[in-house]
Chains A and B, each alone.
Chain A
Amino acid sequence: EADIYQTPRYLVIGTGKKITLECSQTMGHDKMYWYQQDPGMELHLIHYSYGVNSTEKGDLSSESTVSRIRTEHFPLTLESARPSHTSQYLCASSELGGEGQPHTDTQYFGPGTRLTVL
């Protein structure tokens, strides 16, 4: 069982509210990721980080922002939630593997946060 945690598990909130989804891992992994997943659809990468003070945007454009002040913590923030943000948000982490080490970049996922914006 991976040691990666997300809170809250479920969140129902009104339009315009600011929200922060928490993600923490105790495995000491350098790489962390945020994915967005709609029912029956594939995961889409929205943010990732190589380590402290490193954040990058993923493949899917997102109005959310992230920060990486500590290795173990990678929160995601929406300044003004909208119904279009309703989705499941999954956090993951992996070791910072290099070339020739394909088995070191297995991503370990948290349980997810199901966000509903009314």
Chain B
Amino acid sequence: KNQVEQSPQSLIILEGKNCTLQCNYTVSPFSNLRWYKQDTGRGPVSLTIMTFSENTKSNGRYTATLDADTKQSSLHITASQLSDSASYICVVSDRGSTLGRLYFGRGTQLTVWP
């Protein structure tokens, strides 16, 4: 069964600290993996996208890694800011169908305290 599991479910950190969010998936065949940021009451916004051949991708203070062999990804946030408080969703795409279906994790709820 194709699944995307994220950990931790929630995380609280102090402003300025770093953190790492985890994503494990069983989706096959694998096409790409995205990390989205979803602010409360808003739609998700894409942060990074990685294909099979990429093992790291950065977007400002966000750095995503991908290990396609172990089917694991992480999102590292450096020098956190209050505006980083949001849900971070891992999304894996397959190419097993014409649609290129997306599998969503439940997200990690990050709270940054001053």
* Residues of A that sit less than 8 Å from B by CB: 2, 4, 40-45, 48, 90-92, 97, 99, 102-103, 105-112, 114
- Residues of B near A103 (CB, < 8 A) are 32, 49, 51
CB contact between A109 and one of B32, B45, B100, B106 (< 8 Å): that residue: B45
Question: Closest approach, in angstroms, between the C-beta of A27 and any C-beta of chain B?
Answer: 14
Query: Which residues of the partner chain B approach A102 to less than 8 Å between Cβ atoms?
Result: 31-32, 49, 51, 93
A44 to B4, CA, bound (A): 13
Min CB distance A15 to B, Å, is 24
Q: Which residues of A contact B44 (CB under 8 A)?
A: 43, 90, 109
Closest to B10 in A: A40
Q: What B residues does A107 contact at CB under 8 A?
A: 46, 102
Complex Cα gap A44–B106 (Å): 10
Q: How large is the interface on B (under 10, 10 to 19, 20 to 34, 35 or more residues)?
A: 20 to 34
Chain B 69-86, CB-CB to A under 8 Å as 1, else 0, gives 000000000000000000
Q: Which residues of B contact A (CB under 8 A)?
A: 4, 9, 31-32, 34, 41-46, 49, 51, 89, 93, 95, 99-102, 104-107, 109
A41, A44, A111: the one within 8 Å of B41 (CB): A111
In chain B, what residue has the closest Cβ to A102?
A: B32
Q: From B34, which residue of chain A is reached at the shortest CB distance?
A: A106
Interchain Cβ contacts under 8 Å between A and B, 28 examples: A2-B45, A4-B43, A40-B9, A40-B107, A42-B104, A42-B106, A42-B107, A43-B44, A43-B89, A43-B104, A90-B43, A90-B44, A99-B95, A102-B51, A102-B93, A103-B32, A105-B100, A106-B34, A106-B49, A107-B46, A107-B102, A108-B46, A109-B43, A109-B45, A111-B41, A111-B42, A111-B43, A114-B41
Give A66 Cβ to nearest chain B Cβ, in Å. 15
Are A41 and B106 also in contact (CB < 8 A) when A48-B99, A106-B34 are?
Answer: yes
